[in-house]
């Protein structure tokens, strides 16, 4: 484990040592072989396309190891569709973002590479550690050049946007009291009883801390004083928070990730969810391929599937996500133009946290 991969003689990523940039030459070799075959007079059927060669190489590897911080259902739906299409098994591990990055970084520092691919809501984790990831372009991931420019980087691909919003218990909140924005929660007497409001702990994930930052900048200290006056409760994170709302422990929740809400709704929970569009921010999951992956071809094929329309639609079966490809059937409407990208740096800015987390009765971890 921890070794780098070369390129086997058949032109696909091999397992027997070689240069770090091996995977970048794979599709070039495929294309060159096809061109030579056609130039020699062979018919189209005789020339294997780069994608066909990649599929064959991935099937030969047989499996893919994935670390993901997407919701359980989103990961399961996407992996199921990929396995059905290509016959390549996905061994997926779902972790909260902070736990995922800590685990992956620890393995890397121990010269161990377990995950072939990660999907995580933490872009700087990729951009701050470029040597850990395979550089991406069309020759590595088919479809890369056609993917929206704003959703692809040199070492990552944006999988989805998930606009954070408000969830409430439909048995406890009357239709006329349904909140449309955050200020409704501190202005409406329906939420004045202590414990009516639960807030997903900003310290749980970078996206949750970013939402807290957005609210601090938008509404100031007075907003949080009013929340504290109403006895706001703190949930460990978005998922247990919305479960508390479904169980009736709280009426309404701030900081709900849409996939968590839709999972509870799909299970029959008495919950309704509304994305907040002003201020709008959320969770942006990115995919990266490990440099030195044990299954590099399966990793490349998985990335190509995830950025295809078919892969994006499979992802949206779980509800809650918008696609970088636009308004696809089954996906949520595209993020609004005023959407605020996550400031991941604030998650590690202990000085900023020490100044503002007390507004919620919290302190930096």
- Tell me if 54 is assigned to some domain: no
Percent of the chain with pLDDT over 70: 87
CA atoms within 13 A on the CB side of 94: 10
- Tell me if 2 is assigned to some domain: no
How many CB atoms neighbour CB 364 within 10 A?
A: 15
- Tell me if 11 is assigned to some domain: no
pTM value > 0.85:
no
Are residues 203 and 249 both part of a single domain?
Answer: yes
Q: Where are the beta strands (DSSP E) in 201-310?
A: 233-235, 252-256, 271-275, 282-289
Domain enclosing residue 290, as ranges = 59-160+283-318
Are residues 354 and 215 both part of a single domain?
Answer: yes
Angle at 297 between CA 296 and CA 301, to 5 degrees: 120
- Tell me if 34 is assigned to some domain: no
Are residues 111 and 231 both part of a single domain?
Answer: no
What's the whole-number mean pLDDT along residues 167-180?
98
Q: What per-residue confidence (pLDDT) applies to 12?
A: 54
Q: What per-residue confidence (pLDDT) applies to 38?
A: 43
What pLDDT band is residue 96 in, cutting at 50, 70 and 90? confident
- Tell me if 326 is assigned to some domain: no
| CA proximity to 179, closest of 191, 162, 195, 192 | 191
Angle at 21 between CA 16 and CA 26, to 5 degrees: 75
pLDDT in tens, 272-301: 999 999 999 998 999 999 999 999 999 999
How many CB atoms neighbour CB 8 within 10 A?
A: 17
- Cα gap 330→311, rounded to integer Å: 12
- Tell me if 218 is assigned to some domain: yes
What pLDDT band is residue 10 in, cutting at 50, 70 and 90? very low
Are residues 128 and 190 both part of a single domain?
Answer: no
Are residues 130 and 242 both part of a single domain?
Answer: no
Contact 89, 59 (CB under 8 A): no
Q: What per-residue confidence (pLDDT) applies to 22?
A: 52
Which pair of structure tokens corresponds to residue 308? Answer: 């295809």
Q: What is the CATH number of the domain that holds 68?
A: 3.40.190.10
Total domains, the chain: 2
Q: What per-residue confidence (pLDDT) applies to 333?
A: 86
- Tell me if 80 is assigned to some domain: yes
| CA proximity to 347, closest of 94, 70, 96, 122 | 122
Are residues 229 and 354 both part of a single domain?
Answer: yes
DSSP letter, residue 48: P
What pLDDT band is residue 365 in, cutting at 50, 70 and 90? confident
- Cα gap 77→72, rounded to integer Å: 9
Are residues 313 and 356 both part of a single domain?
Answer: no
Long-range CB contacts (within 8 A, 24+) of 214-222: 214/279, 214/281, 214/340, 215/182, 215/279, 216/356, 216/359, 218/279, 219/182, 219/183, 221/359
Contact 66, 116 (CB under 8 A): yes
pLDDT in tens, 309-347: 999 999 998 888 999 998 898 898 888 889 998 998 899
CA atoms within 13 A on the CB side of 137: 10
Q: What per-residue confidence (pLDDT) applies to 274?
A: 95
- Cα gap 219→188, rounded to integer Å: 16
What Cα–Cα distance (Å) separates residue 325 from each residue in 42, 161, 227?
37, 11, 38
| CA proximity to 304, closest of 90, 54, 89, 69 | 54
Angle at 317 between CA 315 and CA 318, to 5 degrees: 85
Which pair of structure tokens corresponds to residue 134? Answer: 């395979």
Q: Where are the alpha helices (DSSP H) in 87-157?
A: 97-109, 123-127
What pLDDT band is residue 197 in, cutting at 50, 70 and 90? very high
Are residues 263 and 308 both part of a single domain?
Answer: no
Are residues 71 and 186 both part of a single domain?
Answer: no
Are residues 347 and 246 both part of a single domain?
Answer: yes
| CA proximity to 117, closest of 126, 109, 262, 27 | 126
Are residues 136 and 205 both part of a single domain?
Answer: no
- Tell me if 41 is assigned to some domain: no
What pLDDT band is residue 24 in, cutting at 50, 70 and 90? low
Average pLDDT over all residues of the chain:
89
Say if residue 41's pLDDT is above 60.
no
Cβ within 8 Å of residue 84, ≥6 positions away: none
Are residues 275 and 297 both part of a single domain?
Answer: no
What Cα–Cα distance (Å) separates residue 106 from each residue in 74, 103, 126?
26, 5, 15
């Amino acid at each position: 484990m921890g070794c780098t991969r070369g390129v086997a003689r058949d032109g696909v990523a091999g397992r027997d040592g070689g240069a770090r940039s091996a995977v970048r030459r794979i599709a070039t070799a495929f294309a060159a072989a096809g061109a030579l075959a056609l130039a020699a007079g062979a018919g189209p059927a005789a020339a294997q396309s780069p994608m066909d060669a990649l599929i064959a190489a991935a099937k030969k590897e047989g499996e893919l190891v994935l670390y993901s911080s997407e919701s359980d259902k989103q990961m399961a739906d996407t992996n199921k569709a990929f396995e059905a299409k290509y016959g390549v098994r996905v061994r997926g591990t779902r972790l909260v973002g902070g736990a995922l990055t800590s685990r992956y970084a620890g393995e890397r520092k121990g010269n161990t590479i377990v995950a072939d691919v990660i999907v995580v809501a933490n872009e700087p984790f990729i951009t701050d550690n470029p040597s850990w990831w395979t550089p991406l372009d069309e020759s590595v991931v088919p479809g890369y050049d056609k993917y929206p420019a704003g959703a692809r980087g040199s070492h990552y691909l944006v999988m989805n946007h998930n606009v954070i919003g408000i969830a409430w218990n439909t048995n406890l909140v009357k239709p006329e009291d349904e909140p449309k924005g955050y200020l409704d929660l501190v202005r409406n007497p329906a939420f004045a009883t202590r414990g009516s409001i639960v807030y997903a702990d900003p310290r749980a994930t970078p996206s949750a801390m970013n939402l807290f930052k957005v609210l601090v900048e938008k509404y100031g200290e007075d907003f949080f004083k009013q929340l504290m006056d109403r006895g706001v409760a703190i949930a460990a994170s978005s998922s247990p928070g919305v479960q508390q709302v479904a169980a009736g422990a709280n009426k309404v929740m701030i900081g709900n990730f849409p996939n968590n809400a839709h999972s509870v709704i799909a299970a029959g929970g008495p919950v309704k969810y509304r994305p907040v569009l002003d201020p709008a921010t959320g969770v942006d999951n990115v995919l990266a391929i490990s440099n030195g992956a044990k299954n590099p071809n399966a990793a490349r094929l998985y990335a190509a599937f995830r950025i295809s329309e078919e892969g994006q639609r499979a992802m949206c079966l779980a509800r809650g996500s918008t696609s970088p490809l636009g308004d696809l059937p089954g996906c949520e409407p595209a993020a609004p133009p005023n959407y605020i990208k996550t400031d991941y740096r604030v998650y590690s800015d202990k000085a900023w946290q020490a100044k503002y987390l007390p507004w919620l009765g919290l302190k930096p971890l």
